[in-house]
Structure 1
Amino acid sequence: MPSGGRRPPPPDRDQDRDREPNQVHAVPRPGGRRMSLITTLARLEAVSSGRAQPAATVRHRHLSEHPLVFVPLTTAGEAGAPLGALVGTDRDAPRLLVVPQPRDRDQRFAFLAELADVVLPYIDAYGESVETAERSETDPETGKRVKVEVDLCTDAPQLIVPSRAGLDLVRLLGRSMRFRRTAEQEPEAPHPAPPRVPLLGRWLTHFGERARVPGSALLLACTDLLSRHWATGQSSLEDQHLGALLAWIDPPGGESGAEAAHRAERARDERGQLLWPPAGPATDPAFDNKLLAPAIERYDRARTALAAAEDGVEADDRSGEVTAAERRIRDLVEGCTRPTWDAVWRSLDLLRALPEGAHVEDRWTRDRWSFTGHRDRVLAGEPPQPRRDDAVTAAGKLATREREQARLDAQEALDDPLVMAGRRLAGEAFAGEVTDVVMAYGEGRRPSPRPLVTVRTDDRPHLDERVKVYRSLGGKPQAAEFVRYEDGEAGDGTGGGGALVVLRVVDKMGRGKEPEEGSVPEKGDRVCFTLFEHEQRGGAKLPDPERTPWTHGGPPVAAEGPPAADPVTEEDLL
């Protein structure tokens, strides 16, 4: 701690460069978890053994049976300028999209339209099948919460990208596409977009927003999925290289993870090209300078010669040169993206081998609600997501992400003994054997059962007087209060090792004078109590956007159409 007793300021967590102005968001921790002592030990063991160690015993994310894999490439030095992509749901037959000249706006727009032709039918297929579900809504007349029956999509689409940089690109593409004007909106626009382009932009924006919600699985990065379930002997930054990460998890025979990862990152052929080029989505400089740049230059010369052709015979020859140059670029893009495409599907195979966690389906149901809600907004003709969130919406998003992060941490610990072990080492949970149960009753007009349960544990929980602890009882949290510690010789008189923790059970025992059967631990039972709550409480109710206080900018002003261009000034003229 610095002199003066003051703590250093917290690090700036908001370093997302493509974040829209005034959008407040919580950045989830890499992999959606804290760096626990268990994870640190697993990394050390990975270095010692030369192979990645399990960081989880179950799969903590939902995997669709038919995910849409998207492996993009971007042009060096131009953020958001696509070079090409492999996209599709069939691992053996991906769809190759290429922009031969990334600086050509028409070609970039054609790429986006072709991408929409692949992605939108996949999304629409999930919006057709619905089921009836109940949802709580506020009655506008009484102001009370009531149950209403609404349609809920039976499943939702899932988009998989290779690494975390792919998540940023999806958000960037969504922002650049959802405000494009179509010919119907502006008939005189010089470059009108097909209607499917802004629609895809709205969907990519929604996927990108959900990716910022901890535990969501609509849009996933493959490297985050793998690093959540395996601990390697390299840094978290190096784990963002999909090839190196897989080399630690499943190295070739006879090689250690470090050797295989080094080869996956640096091995080159006789031309100086990477043997396993990563779709970052940035490309390797050697690939750009030695292969891609000459191919694009050849393509530009062929197009220029075609435009200058004077007769039909010469035009046919020049057209063949353009086709050959374009085919060369397509081959380069496919060769650069195909290794990553295969690595993504190999990663999904490894993840599917793990059993799904108990709370994964619950989180996927929330994703289905999110998908259904956005589908309904699109069908209702609502405008696209705004460029800037108003104060109430931004505060609501931040509160939701913080609540979902706490819920995810709790659910992963409840689903996974390995994760719970990390919480136990941190003093946030304890497990042990029940050594004694004494029936007691609370004081009041109607005495309620308040049994005292003594648990022998080797853990060291951070307990204080009347601190509440929780255990899972039939999928619901049962609360108890810490009463006191007892000497090791007390309780059952066996004199066994470990501390004796006396707890008072306070709920989930029924309404009778005697507890319901199975609601109170019995002597000899193995139990696990946590100091963290299993369910997260909702925060304070936020005002309607129309009632935003002046301290937060006042009510939002409805924008009519696209923002006006900057006025022409004298400085704009020579």
Structure 2
Amino acid sequence: MSTLRALAAAQAVAAGVAQPVATVRHLHLSTRPLVLVPLALAGEVNAPLAAIVGSAPGEGRLLIVPQPRNRDQRLAFVAELAEVVLPYVQGHRTATEAVSVDRGRDVRLRYLDAPQVLVPNPAGVTFLRLLGRATRFRRVDGEHPVPPTVPLLGRWLTFLAERAEHPGSSTLVAMTQALTLHWATGQSAVEDLHLPALLGWIAPPAGLTGAEAAARAEDPTICPPAGPATDPEFDNRLLAPAIEAYAAAGDDAGARVEAYAELERLLRDQLTPTWELMWRGVGLLRALPPGARVASRWDGDRDAFTAHAEHVDGGGAPQPRRDGAVGAAARLHRLERAATSYAVQRAYDDPLVMAEYRLTGEAFVGEVVLADPTRVDDSGRRPVLRPRIQLLTTDAVLVPVGASLFSPARPGQKARVVFVTPAGDGKTEVVLELSGGMGRGLTATPGSVPEVGQRLCYTSLSEAYVPGGTFPAVEETPWTHGGPPAAASADHTSGRDELSGEEWA
């Protein structure tokens, strides 16, 4: 936990309500997201029990599995889920836009929007990842065929789960993570994974403090778990007898209908509170203005969505069960670059996030007390415009002389540290030499050089493009990393479900 977040948590305890740790929203929020609340059967590996899914508060569709241990019923559940998810995904494959590439020498098409799925917590993301892995290789012919929508849904769920690992992506979002990105509560990080308790801190009911609302949310009879795990007391006292009653109905149509209705009622009662909390969370997030760089990250999600849709349309193979050595290294490299970029963008968008870097000395805020906008450096082969400014700051300045700094207010301009001088009374004078973003001549364009009296933030964090690493071709994988994956195709089409040990067909 960072220093400022720890302070915010202490303030939350004192105030009795969660404290904001962001001034803007750091994720994209669709105008019509798809909310999905899953439940899984306890004691089984990712066996779906029920789900409520829909793209509007009044449009939730309840799907249940009367006997989760029955493979056919589980696949029927997936087929029903596909009837909701796939049309939602397809609905974003309409209008496209042209995007220039290769410095304008070529163009490519990109969908104007992409799907966004919201689940209650990270365990919901894991549930969808495992469900996708267990279904994307199912066969639509031969023995035990499944509807074509089942493996197709598996591929899209895998795509969403992979994007969820990408820092800054908004295609598959866990609500608890989205909320804790913007608010700090007075409870632990583990307790923040409980959506009812988290929302109790952020928006407690009238007459209750956040701690009281969170304590009330711990009662599963008032606030059922947000899934996919269920409450053990509910499992033993209500769910197990209802499943047994359905199984015992046998061929008695009337008894089966009655038992199914009871199961449906029980599971709806378990899911509806979380469904309502999810939409409350959406409302809280929507009330925050989006950060300036959220749109560019959503462009990356739209690029990924377009590429995957084209891959599926072109008859491409499902995502491999395991990445090869080169693919795994390249993927890790992409995620690390994305994480670095996401951290910088959040800091540039949000002064509360930047304050963390001010505490560590990686950024400071100061007032411009002197400015020389006409200074020209003629020590080189040709004279160049190099204005200098002097700032006075009370922040700790730990950057060395000669370091390159950047200002979120002037991202296209670089500042080189010339002098750092203590000025007494806890203040520091910093002299910066500016380059870039001032025009091409020896006279700076109006407004391009900070003026005396302006208050600016400078940081060592940079948004500059960093080229990706280079990796060997798959067929050139060195023997130290397993050699060429000759058996990869067999791994893709293996006929056994690793989750349950069942034969796919």
What TM-score do the two structures reach when normalised by structure 1? 0.83
One-letter amino acid of the structure 2 residue matched with residue 486 of structure 1: T
Alignment of 1:534 with 2:468, yes or no, is: no
Which sits farther off after the overlay, 514-523 or 203-212? 514-523
The percentage of counterpart residues that share the same residue type is 50
Aligned-partner residue type, residue 514 of structure 1: T
- 1:552 & 1:154 partners in 2: Cα distance? 40
2:41 corresponds to 1:75: yes
Name the counterpart of 1:322: 256
User: C-alpha distance in 2, partners of 1:442/1:382?
Assistant: 59
* Partner of residue 414, structure 2: 479
CA distance in 1: counterparts of 2:124 and 2:37, whole angstroms: 8
Match of 1:294 in 2: 241
Q: Residue 120 of structure 2 corresponds to which residue in structure 1?
A: 162
Give, in whole Å, the separation in 2 of the partners of 1:355 and 1:565: 47
**In 2, Cα distance between equivalents of 1:545 and 1:85:** 40
Counterpart AA for 1:92: G
Q: Is the 8 A contact 1:406 1:536 kept in 2?
A: no
User: Which residue in 1 is equivalent to 2:147?
Assistant: 194
1:279 Cα offset (Å):
2.6
2: CA distance between counterparts of 1:52 and 1:217?
23
Question: Which residue matches 1:41?
Answer: 7
Q: C-alpha displacement at 1:521, in angstroms? A: 1.6
SS in 1 for 2:380: coil
| Partner residue, 1:493 | none
1:391 correspondence with 2:325: yes
Query: Structure 1 residues 565 and 362 mapped into 2: Cα distance closer, same or farther (>3 Å)?
Result: closer
CA contact (8 A) 1:442 1:450 kept: no
The aligned counterpart of 1:10 is none
State which of 442, 456, 460 in structure 1 corresponds to 2:396: 460
Cα distance per residue 1:142-199 (max 9 Å; x no partner): xxx773211100000100001110010110011001011111xxx3x1x111111000
Q: Cα distance, 1:282 vs. partner? A: 0.5
Tell me what 1:331 maps to.
265
1:108 partnered with 2:74? yes
Contact 1:84-1:96 within 8 A present in 2 as well:
yes
Secondary structure at the counterpart of residue 408 of structure 2: strand
What CA distance in whole angstroms lies between the structure 1 residues aligned with 2:496 and 2:49? 29
* 8 Å contact from structure 1 (residues 465, 484) kept in 2: yes
Contact 2:37 2:52 in 1 (8 A): yes
Q: Distance in 2 between matches of 1:483 and 1:90?
A: 56
3-state SS of paired residue (2:489): coil
Q: 1:564 to 1:280 in 2, by over 3 A?
A: closer
| 2:199 is the alignment partner of 1:246 | yes
Q: What is the alpha-carbon distance in structure 1 between the residues aligned to residue 64 and residue 95 of structure 2?
A: 33
Alignment partner, residue 291 of structure 2:
357
Please tell me whether the aligned partners of residues 364 and 458 of structure 2 are also in contact (alpha carbons under 8 angstroms).
Answer: yes
Moved more, 393-402 or 56-65: 393-402
The CA distance in 1 between the partners of 2:378 and 2:235, in whole Å, is 75
Unaligned runs of 5+ in 1: 1-34, 137-144, 267-272, 307-317, 490-495, 567-574
SS at match of 2:105: strand
Q: Is the counterpart of residue 428 in structure 1 residue 362 in structure 2? A: yes
SS in 1 for 2:344: helix
What is the aligned counterpart of 1:437 among 339, 357, 371?
371
Deviations 1:467-514 (A, max 9, x none): 11111355x33211112223528xxxxxx8621011121333333223
Deviation (angstroms), 1:542: 2.0
8 Å contact from structure 1 (residues 131, 154) kept in 2: yes
- 1:62 lines up with 2:20 in the alignment: no
When the two structures are aligned, how many residues end up with a matched partner?
A: 493
* 8 A contact 1:472–1:478 mirrored in 2: no
Q: Secondary structure at the match of 2:14?
A: helix
CA distance, structure 2, for counterparts of residue 127 and residue 546 of structure 1: 35
Q: What is the distance in 2 between the residues matched to 1:196 and 1:119?
A: 10
**How much does 1:536 deviate?**
4.5
- Partners of 1:424 and 1:42 lie apart in 2 by 16
Which residue number corresponds to residue 225 of structure 1?
Answer: 178
2:467 is aligned with 1:514: no
Deviation beyond 3 Å, 4+ runs, structure 1: none
Cα distance between partner residues in 2 of 1:563 and 1:284:
35
Give 1:374's aligned residue: 308
Contact 1:403-1:536 at 8 Å conserved across structures: no
Deviation at 1:373, TM superposition (A): 0.3
Matched to 2:388, the amino acid is L
> Aligned AA for 1:354?
L
Structure 2 counterpart of 1:94: 60
**In structure 2, the residue corresponding to 1:168 is in which secondary structure?**
helix
Alignment-mate amino acid for residue 260 of structure 2: E
Contact 1:432-1:458 within 8 A present in 2 as well:
yes
Alignment correspondent of 2:105: 147
Aligned equivalent of 1:237: 190
Structure 2: give runs of 5+ residues left out of the alignment: 498-505
Query: Given that residues 40 and 229 in structure 2 are in contact (C-alpha distance below 8 angstroms), is that contact kept between their aligned partners in structure 1?
Result: yes
For 2:485 and 2:427, the matched residues in 1 are separated by 60
Aligned to 1:563: 494
Rounded Cα–Cα distance in structure 1 between residues aligned with 2:419 and 2:376: 15
Instruction: Decide whether aligned partners of structure 1 residues 88 and 233 sit closer, same or farther in structure 2, where only a CA change above 3 A counts.
Output: same
Once the two structures are TM-superposed, the CA of residue 346 in structure 1 deviates from its matched residue by 0.6
Are the equivalent residues in 2 in contact too, given 1:440–1:452 (CA < 8 A)? no
Residues 53, 231 of structure 1: 8 Å contact kept: yes
Tell me the SS of whatever aligns to 1:215. Answer: coil
Cα distance change on mapping 1:536 and 1:361 into 2, 3 Å: same
- Select between 508-517 and 251-260 the one with higher mean Cα deviation: 508-517
Structure 2 counterpart SS, 1:431: strand
**Secondary structure at 1:488's aligned position in 2?**
strand
Alpha-carbon deviation of 1:61?
Answer: 0.5
TM-score, with length taken from structure 2: 0.94
Alpha carbons 1:427, 1:460 under 8 Å: kept:
yes
Whole-angstrom CA distance in 1 between matches of 2:371 and 2:212: 56
- How far residue 465 of structure 1 moved from its aligned partner, in angstroms, is 2.2
Cα distance, 1:426 vs structure 2: 1.8
Measure the CA separation in 2 of the matches of 1:133 and 1:410. 25
1:402/1:565 CA distance change after superposition, 3 Å: closer
Q: CA RMSD in A?
A: 1.8
* Residue 443 of structure 1, CA deviation: 2.0
